């Protein structure tokens, strides 16, 4: 596991007790250390965050909330959860934070349970345009139990905001359907979100405004992207991605009555016992994010994304919406090759040691399992110390692999170069 003596000792301990599991862990650690992680929703946590998850807090049930548990022996668990809550509130400038959700999708589901009744209408961006499955996909509980209506992106190519949020369309959809909840915040949207404008629309139609900042939470925390507060009534997020914490979720608000509803919806409405070892790791990550160097990191994440987008553009790829303001970009592969699909690109790049995910682009003619695009992000590479000049090298490798259309010799050559390159940018330790 690299140069982390604690992780190395854990691996040795596991090897003695369970060689099969130990070998799988060793292989995965080696894979991460020798590949370039470009999936926008992934990151590399610090050793402190990682080790906080592997602690004795995993032994304890702590159903309930600090000061009101359903089990004894929770004195220190109360203190851990309060620490996470206090740091989250300081980080995002909010009054209330529920740190118990196990994921962003569960945070969204709990918010729906708290604020909506089955059959209620809410408005969101359609998944194909960059939304999330928990924002009303018909096979998800958000689409099965509630009534989603969708607003589109701009598609007038003469318009300066082509493939960006169409706020006039948002207003039109809300005026027509009168949703009880208006959602903003996305999983594949590269531009700045105008939370104040969303709140004005929500107020006009009598809706609550919910911001899902799972992807941009780290940017928001560092002041690199505008905050949803004080505009949003409720804010959900994951705690990994740009926030660089453990895998988990969180819900925040400034409204005490909404906070009470959220708490009841999370427990006992959605979950039983919280994962206290993960909540400790959340507290550690929030503490890291409160330090000045975290802002420098997030600024570099955006610089790297813009450098990568520019470099890919120079190689003939199209970046949807014309660029990026945050940590991610959607790459339209078709201008480079009409036959190139996201599925092929993902597979070939992984063989070359570059980890990406296929992703539909706005108005994509191909199905979700094939796609015409890739979603790329820079949080993980930035955590390893890469900067703008390295982004140009990464773009060059991507183009070499895709131009060769999976040619084995080219793929193997790039794999060797990537592996050697990774040795100069070790995992956080």
Type and span of the H or E element at 253: strand 249-253
Distance CA 34, CA 262 (A): 42
The SS3 assignment for 169 reads helix
State the Rg of the chain over Cα. Answer: 22
- Measured in whole angstroms, the distance separating CA 60 from the mean position of its chain's CA atoms is 28
Is residue 263 within 8 A of residue 65, CB to CB? The reply is yes
Q: Pick the catalytic residue: 35, 236, 237, 238?
A: 238
Distance CA 240, CA 159 (A): 35
Is residue 283 within 8 A of residue 91, CB to CB? The reply is no
Q: Pick the catalytic residue: 15, 26, 82, 247?
A: 247
Active site annotation includes 238: yes
Active site annotation includes 199: no
The SS3 assignment for 42 reads coil
Structure tokens at 84: 């996470």
Distance CA 195, CA 123 (A): 15
Distance CA 214, CA 16 (A): 38
Distance CA 135, CA 184 (A): 9
**Beta partners for 373?**
332, 359
Q: Pick the catalytic residue: 212, 288, 364, 390?
A: 212
Q: Which residues contact 94 (CB under 8 A, 6 or more apart)?
A: 88, 229, 235, 252, 253, 254
Structure tokens at 359: 């992703």
Q: What is the DSSP letter of 134?
A: G
**Beta partners for 153?**
165
Q: Pick the catalytic residue: 63, 194, 255, 388?
A: 63
Cα angle: 300, vertex 314, 187; to 5 degrees: 50
Distance CA 79, CA 139 (A): 39
Q: Pick the catalytic residue: 241, 318, 375, 415?
A: 241
Q: Which residues contact 167 (CB under 8 A, 6 or more apart)?
A: 194, 197, 198, 201
- Work out the number of other CB atoms within 10 angstroms of the CB of residue 320: 28
Q: Burial, 75: exposed, middle or buried (Cβ in 10 Å; 0-12, 13-18, 19+)?
A: exposed
Is residue 63 within 8 A of residue 273, CB to CB? The reply is yes
Active site annotation includes 70: no
Q: Pick the catalytic residue: 34, 61, 295, 399?
A: 61
Is residue 179 within 8 A of residue 123, CB to CB? The reply is yes
Active site annotation includes 247: yes
Active site annotation includes 212: yes
The catalytic residue positions are: 61, 63, 212, 238, 241, 247
């Amino acid at each position: 596991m690299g140069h982390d003596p604690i992780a190395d000792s854990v691996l040795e301990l596991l090897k003695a007790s369970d060689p099969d599991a130990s070998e799988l862990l060793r292989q995965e650690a080696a894979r991460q250390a020798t590949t370039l992680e470009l999936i926008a929703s992934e990151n590399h946590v610090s050793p402190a965050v990682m080790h906080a998850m592997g602690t004795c807090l995993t032994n304890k049930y702590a159903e309930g909330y600090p000061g009101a548990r359903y089990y004894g022996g929770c004195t220190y668990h109360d203190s851990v959860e309060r620490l996470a809550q206090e740091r989250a509130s300081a980080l995002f400038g909010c009054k209330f934070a529920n740190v118990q959700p196990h994921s962003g999708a569960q945070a969204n589901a709990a918010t729906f349970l708290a604020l909506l009744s089955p059959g209620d209408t809410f408005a969101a961006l359609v998944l194909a345009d960059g939304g999330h499955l928990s924002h009303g996909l018909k096979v998800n509980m958000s689409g099965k139990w509630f009534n989603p209506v969708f607003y589109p992106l701009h598609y007038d190519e003469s318009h300066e905001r082509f493939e960006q949020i169409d706020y006039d369309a948002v207003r039109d959809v809300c005026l027509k359907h009168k949703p009880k909840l208006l959602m903003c915040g996305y999983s594949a949207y590269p531009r700045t979100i105008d939370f104040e404008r969303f709140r004005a629309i929500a107020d006009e139609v009598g809706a609550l405004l919910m911001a899902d900042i799972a992807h941009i939470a780290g940017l928001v925390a560092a002041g690199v992207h505008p905050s949803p507060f004080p505009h949003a009534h409720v804010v959900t997020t994951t705690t990994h991605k740009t926030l660089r914490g453990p895998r988990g979720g969180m819900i925040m608000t400034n409204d005490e009555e909404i906070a009470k509803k959220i708490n009841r919806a999370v427990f006992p409405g959605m979950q039983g016992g919280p994962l206290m070892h993960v909540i400790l790791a959340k507290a550690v990550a929030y503490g890291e994010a409160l330090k000045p160097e975290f802002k420098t990191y997030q600024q570099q994440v955006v610089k790297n994304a813009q450098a990568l987008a520019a470099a890919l553009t120079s190689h003939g790829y199209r970046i949807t919406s014309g660029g990026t303001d945050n940590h991610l970009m959607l790459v339209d592969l078709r201008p480079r090759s009409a036959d190139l699909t996201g599925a092929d690109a993902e597979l070939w790049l992984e063989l070359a040691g570059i980890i990406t995910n296929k992703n539909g682009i706005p108005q994509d003619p191909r199905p979700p399992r094939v796609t015409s695009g890739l979603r790329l992000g820079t949080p993980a590479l930035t955590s390893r110390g890469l900067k703008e000049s390295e982004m140009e090298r990464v773009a060059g490798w991507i183009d070499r692999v895709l131009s060769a259309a999976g040619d084995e010799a080219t793929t193997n050559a790039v794999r060797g170069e990537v592996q050697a390159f990774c040795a100069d940018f070790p995992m956080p330790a």
